[in-house]
Structure 1
Amino acid sequence: MIELRRWSASGAAWYAEQAKDPEILRWTTDSPDLTAADVRRAIAALPEDALAWMITDAETGEPLGNAAVDLKDGVAEPSYWIAASARGRGAATEALREMCARSLAAGAERVELVIHRDNAASARVAEKVGFVAGDAFEHPKLGPCVRYRWDG
């Protein structure tokens, strides 16, 4: 069982360290040079109503990953990553389900994911949650991607 907790400065070093993982770097726009200070500044700049969380183990509080939702014009676009030590435990699936629910509560009319076409693990997570693959396109930062849509 996971919990989404608001990011705090105390999680900055953990985020910066995990973001150096080659699998995270492969599928995200995080920089390999990201520092804890960079993350602290980003956390401090988050608006109060930001849809951005640390994914944690609900029982132990162990950090598991990162979750965020970009909400624009009624369309929510979740993004997430899971730390290497937490992969394969269902955390991404649970987190994505929770992000969808929170997106709707925040006013989203629909939820879409952008997943790199070669990111099979993320595509499996999306499909488990009920997302359906749609159009393929070239993302300016991620390269060849597929847009997945969830209608609840």
Structure 2
Amino acid sequence: MFDSDTVTTPAAQSWDPAEACWTENPAPRPTRSVPPGMTLMRPWHESDLDRYVALLDDPAVWAHLPDPYPDPLTHDLAAQLIALSNAADHHLVRAVVLDGQPVGQVRLSFTPGSADRSRAEIGYWLGRDYWGKRIARDMVARFSAQCFAMMPALAEQYARVHRDNPASRRVLERIGFVAAGPCPEHDGFDILTRPRPA
């Protein structure tokens, strides 16, 4: 499911995140707009290196992330990040692909070294050219739902949001995340949480 989750709705079907598959609709119903051609949950590939650098070597993208901007983001460092994203067992990292090209990333991460899989952090970034087009909301909503569906032990997701990034906060709140207070590890960030949907 995560490797080729193409958003092309079959006739009279809809995506069921609980079952992680397409299901027959009992009757026609309105569906949420999804950018055509979006694919989620494919790993980053070595062949994505130039695209990865072009998207992420941008101080504006890093401005509201908890990690510092590695100015510049070299190809060597980018290659290491791609390798780590596919090798580490404490997280799930996927490129977000639109019309055949990566445009950003989603990530679910657990505490390294811990066997606890009941709580995990969801994080994401999107290339600057794709801001303001509803892509962030759609990709985070789908990834969050699919992670809950694929991981029965996962009871809660949380996210760190910079207080100067109201757009990202709205993305999370619209899909069910709620404020849980300031982030103790990072000044200027708040924690938002989402429990497993009933």
**TM-score band (shorter)?**
0.7 to 0.9
Indicate the structure with greater strand content. Answer: 1
Question: Which residue is equivalent to 2:101?
Answer: 62
Structure 2 residue identity aligned to 1:149: T
Which has the larger displacement, 116-125 or 62-71?
62-71
Q: Secondary structure at the match of 1:13?
A: helix
Q: Secondary structure at the match of 1:122?
A: helix
1:73-152 alignment to 2 at 5 Å? 73=116, 74-104=118-148, 105-106=150-151, 107-140=153-186, 143-151=187-195, 152=197
Indicate the structure with greater helix content. Answer: 1
Structure 2 unpaired stretches of 5+: 1-34
1:32 aligns with 2:71: yes
Closer/same/farther in 2, CA of residues 133 and 119 from structure 1, 3 Å limit: same
Q: Over residues 63-114 of structure 1, what are the superposed CA-to-partner deviations in whole Å (9 max), with x where a residue is unaligned?
A: 2111111123321211111111111121111111122123321342111111
| 1:115–1:148 CA contact under 8 A, matched in 2 | yes
Equivalent in 4, 11, 22 of residue 59 of structure 2: 22
Question: Which residue is equivalent to 2:17?
Answer: none
- For residues 108 and 23 of structure 1, the distance between their equivalents in structure 2, rounded to whole angstroms, comes to 32
- TM-superposed CA distance for 1:126, in Å, is 0.5
TM-score w.r.t. the length of structure 2 is 0.67
Which structure has the larger Rg over C-alpha atoms?
2
CA-atom RMSD in angstroms: 1.9
- For residues 102 and 71 of structure 1, the distance between their equivalents in structure 2, rounded to whole angstroms, comes to 16
| 1:69–1:79 CA contact under 8 A, matched in 2 | yes
Structure 1 residue identity aligned to 2:58: D
- For residues 163 and 88 of structure 2, the distance between their equivalents in structure 1, rounded to whole angstroms, comes to 33
- TM-superposed CA distance for 1:144, in Å, is 1.5
- For residues 109 and 147 of structure 2, the distance between their equivalents in structure 1, rounded to whole angstroms, comes to 9
Q: Secondary structure at the match of 2:188?
A: strand
Question: Which residue is equivalent to 2:87?
Answer: 47
- For residues 87 and 145 of structure 2, the distance between their equivalents in structure 1, rounded to whole angstroms, comes to 20
- TM-superposed CA distance for 1:132, in Å, is 0.7
- TM-superposed CA distance for 1:138, in Å, is 4.2
Structure 1 residue identity aligned to 2:142: E
Q: Over residues 2-33 of structure 1, what are the superposed CA-to-partner deviations in whole Å (9 max), with x where a residue is unaligned?
A: 32221111112222222222221211224222
Which has the larger displacement, 1-10 or 99-108?
99-108
- For residues 146 and 78 of structure 2, the distance between their equivalents in structure 1, rounded to whole angstroms, comes to 23
Equivalent in 48, 70, 77 of residue 11 of structure 1: 48
